Amino acid sequence: MAMDKQHATTLIRSLMADVAKCTGLIGERPPHRYLWTDAFAVCNFLGLAERIGEQQFRELALRLVDQVHYVLGRHRPDDPRTGWLSGLPAEAGEAHPTQGGLRIGKRLPERRPDEAFDERLEWDRDGQYFHYLTKWMHALARVGRVTDDARYVRWGIELAETAYARFRCGATLGGRRHLAWKMSIDLSRPLVGAQGQHDALDGLLACLELRSAAHALGVADVTDLEQPITELTALCREQPLATTDPLGIGGLLSGAHVLAQLTVAGVPGYADLLPALLDAACTGLADQAEERDALSLPADDRLAFRELGLSIGLRALEHTRALEADNSAGFEALPGFGTRMRQLSDYVLLISRIEDFWLDPNNQRSKTWAAHADINAVMLATSLDPEGYLTL
């Protein structure tokens, strides 16, 4: 079902207003921050501000950044430790709020060193996720560009430096360095030592974006990013990228759009990775279609935010196609790029199928929607208008 821009804007405003109230960004509720949701929310508020020109949404984005840093950049209220995760004193911590990383925001405390690992319970325990930190790096880069304030980009660079150093520190697998998937709140020990399939890719893209934003805003010294970029590039090129997970496929397509924008901006050295991401996404979509039609299952058997990750990625594909149309000579030289873009275009119809399903009030009454209401609402808003999230 096609949706006009005015209707989409009305829906997005409603979704984001509900999230702002439910999570304590506005109103009387105490703040409840969750890093992944908040990274998308910052971008959505920026997108609304740019789309309809209302200053309140830009102010909400900046308020959310401050709240995330003050809540997730500090120890939990139920933790005997207090203050900034970095260990910096109050004034220095406020000046460098990302230097100790940022908590996930899970409802349960992190697993203690003497507690046995429980895979099911670990999903509900706090800590730090590398791939969540990369989403926040992207949000900070976006805020920096929109506000022309280099402070946000510097915070993103400090976060990238911390994440790269601590998630890879002491992490070896078969003699080869890799990234831990989940670290403790103070970044002193891995909680889940295995590497996420796309963590290195997410880290590379975030660092490239921060470096580009720093150059645009005149930040002179970005040398702290060079070693992470070099090592993450090597890790990324070694890692098989194809997946049948819809959120992962969407991430590949969104990542391809980041690389397309960087390529158009003249960033050298990564154009060859763009067709590889498209190829992996194409493989994943084809394999997923052969395995099952998951989009025909009832709402209680589906996870909206994972499907909406795919629809956001397919929106990114449309934006990449627009870049290709305006810069055809540069993209034609990339082996396999045009073929993969044509093959992937067959899946664009999934966008409306996913969005229409989760816009249905009956499906929003499902137990799986209710269990993840905030993240679902934010990602539905992003899918309806991804400009704020997809733009570098």
Q: What is the pLDDT of residues 330-349, one digit of tens each?
A: 888 888 899 999 999 999 99
**pTM for this structure?**
0.96
Residue 130 lies in a domain: yes
What proportion of the chain, given as a percentage, has pLDDT over 70?
Answer: 97
Q: What is the pLDDT of residue 169?
A: 59
* 3-state SS assignment for residue 56: helix
Mean pLDDT of 214-241: 90
Residue 249 lies in a domain: yes
Q: What is the pLDDT of residue 237?
A: 87
Task: Report the alpha-carbon distance of residue 321 to residue 99 in Å, rounded.
Answer: 37
Residues 235 and 245 in one domain: no
Q: Is the pLDDT reported for residue 3 higher than 50?
A: yes
Residue 336 lies in a domain: yes
Residues 162 and 188 in one domain: yes
Q: What is the pLDDT of residue 197?
A: 95
Residues 233 and 257 in one domain: no
Residue 150: pLDDT band (50, 70, 90) is very high
Residue 33 lies in a domain: no
Tell me which of 239, 273, 308 is where a domain ends. Answer: 239
Which residue bears the tokens 């990750």? 309
Q: What is the pLDDT of residue 294?
A: 85
Residue 312 lies in a domain: yes
Residues 245 and 392 in one domain: yes
Residues 283 and 202 in one domain: no
Residues 214 and 264 in one domain: no
Residue 46: pLDDT band (50, 70, 90) is very high
Residue 80 lies in a domain: no
Residues 255 and 368 in one domain: yes
pLDDT tens by residue, 270-296: 988 999 999 999 999 998 776 668 889
pLDDT tens by residue, 130-148: 999 999 999 999 999 999 9
Task: Report the alpha-carbon distance of residue 354 to residue 343 in Å, rounded.
Answer: 19
Question: What sign does the dihedral 252-258-262-265 (CA atoms) show?
Answer: positive
Residue 224: pLDDT band (50, 70, 90) is confident
Residue 259 lies in a domain: yes
From 183, 165, 73, select the one nearest 122 (Cα to Cα).
183
Tell me which of 190, 212, 239 is where a domain ends. Answer: 239
Residues 222 and 354 in one domain: no
Mean pLDDT of 205-211: 97
Task: Report the alpha-carbon distance of residue 35 to residue 37 in Å, rounded.
Answer: 6
Residue 328 lies in a domain: yes
Q: What is the pLDDT of residue 117?
A: 95
Residue 363: pLDDT band (50, 70, 90) is very high
pLDDT tens by residue, 14-45: 999 999 999 999 999 999 999 999 999 999 99
Q: What is the pLDDT of residue 174?
A: 53
Residues 187 and 265 in one domain: no
Tell me which of 212, 239, 266 is where a domain ends. Answer: 239
Residues 313 and 196 in one domain: no
Mean pLDDT of 384-390: 96
Residue 176: pLDDT band (50, 70, 90) is low
Residues 208 and 285 in one domain: no
Question: What sign does the dihedral 80-86-87-90 (CA atoms) show?
Answer: negative
* Least-confidence region, from 29-43, 102-116, 229-243, 289-303: 289-303
Strands (E), the chain: 128-129, 172-173, 176-177, 182-183, 190-192
Query: What domain range is 108 assigned to?
Result: 103-138+149-239
Residues 263 and 224 in one domain: no
Task: Report the alpha-carbon distance of residue 339 to residue 330 in Å, rounded.
Answer: 15
The domain total for the chain is: 2
Residue 171: pLDDT band (50, 70, 90) is very low
* 3-state SS assignment for residue 98: coil
